Copies of this chain bind each other. A is one copy, B any other.
């Protein structure tokens, strides 16, 4: 059983009528409903407005994969929570970063770069191409699929070279974008997926939901947990694998 926590900023759903009309229970709920219907998957939600943004120690401890959507309130996310989420990723929790969360604190922190991009909100067509057909995240997805209305995200995208590039998008207005990319950070897997503008029904699209469910399955930890990942570990001379004698000066 894969335990997913779907995190949503949950602001535009409250303040924009068009967004509420598309996602009456919030985008996080729409995503959680889809994931919860997957075999072997269990989904809960967490939002910015909850204490600790719904991401206390216990919740994170019980989470195999976290999905993250945010847009206008990145700065309101508490740094201590960001630190905690990063630590859990380093231990092995997967994280799926969605759309405008490219500028979230957690994604910028995991990438080490600006995560900036070009953008245009014009309701244009996006065509998402798979450039890695055997990848588990692309399973059951056709060679390309189209989103009739999408926000354009364009290159250059300020990310480190991805470990794997799974999707590249074509936009009607003439741009391109690496719209599906993976990285490893510590023992945790990271997937960024670009589609998801809140004024279009993107999280009702079957292919988008297929990609997110596949990504959750792919990111769920199968190796061991990296225990205490931030700790530097001293191995004194008497515990060295080979016998050695201490020599020289010391600062410790």
Contacts and interface: CB of A to CB of B under 8 A. Distances in A.
Contacts of A200: 248-249
B112 A248 contact: no
A80 interface: no
A41 to B, nearest CB: 15
A158 B187 CA distance: 9
Interface in A85-112: 86, 90-92, 103, 109-112
Nearest to A218: B222
Interface of A is mostly: loop
Interface in A130-189: 130-140, 143-144, 146, 149, 152, 154-158, 160-165, 168-176, 178, 183-188
A122 interface: yes
A37 interface: no
A162 B146 CA distance: 26
Contacts of A199: 248-251
B235 A175 contact: yes
A50 interface: no
Contacts of A242: 172-174
Interface residues of A, number: 101
A229 B158 contact: yes
A210 interface: no
A170 B118 CA distance: 15
A231 interface: yes
Contact of A244 (B86, B173, B221, B248): B173
A64 interface: no
A175 B241 contact: yes
A40 interface: no
Interface string A54-95: 000000000000000001100000000000001000111000
Contact of A223 (B112, B135, B144, B231): B135
B176 A129 contact: yes
Nearest to A183: B160
Interface of A: 12, 16, 18-19, 71-72, 86, 90-92, 103, 109-114, 116-124, 127, 129-140, 143-144, 146, 149, 152, 154-158, 160-165, 168-176, 178, 183-188, 198-200, 221-226, 229-237, 240-242, 244-252
